[in-house]
Amino acid sequence: MSSGCATKTCDARGPSETCEVHNAFMDSVTFPYEELPMPSRGYIEARVQYFPHAHPFLLPKGCSKCVFFVCDECVRAETSWLKDHPLDKK
């Protein structure tokens, strides 16, 4: 009998290492599972258009860790957008 914790790493990177918005190479980053509140509708709409590869706000349940592609330009765009929309913070 084995006693140990079962850890599952999910891969949510997608088919391309290039950000479709910024045409930049993305880094593969592993995030631990964490329950996060859903962001505002305005944030989600802006994310889809301007920073789709910023740090994730939704991780799959059942995974202890999840691997995503993260674009540095998306992270910068998200930071800038959040400064201009303080009431829409995640």
Strands of the 65-70 sheet, one edge to the other:
9-11, 65-70, 27-32
Name which residue leads in pLDDT, 33 or 76.
Answer: 76
- pLDDT score of 1: 42
Spans of all domains in the chain: 9-85
Please choose, from the candidates 3, 29, 6, 9, the residue with its C-alpha nearest in 3D space to the C-alpha of residue 17. 29
Output the pLDDT for position 90: 54
Enter the tokens of residue 11. 């891969």
Mean pLDDT of the chain: 87
Task: Tokens for 4, please give them.
Answer: 């140990």
DSSP E strands, the chain? 9-11, 27-32, 65-70
User: What's the DSSP call for residue 88?
Assistant: G
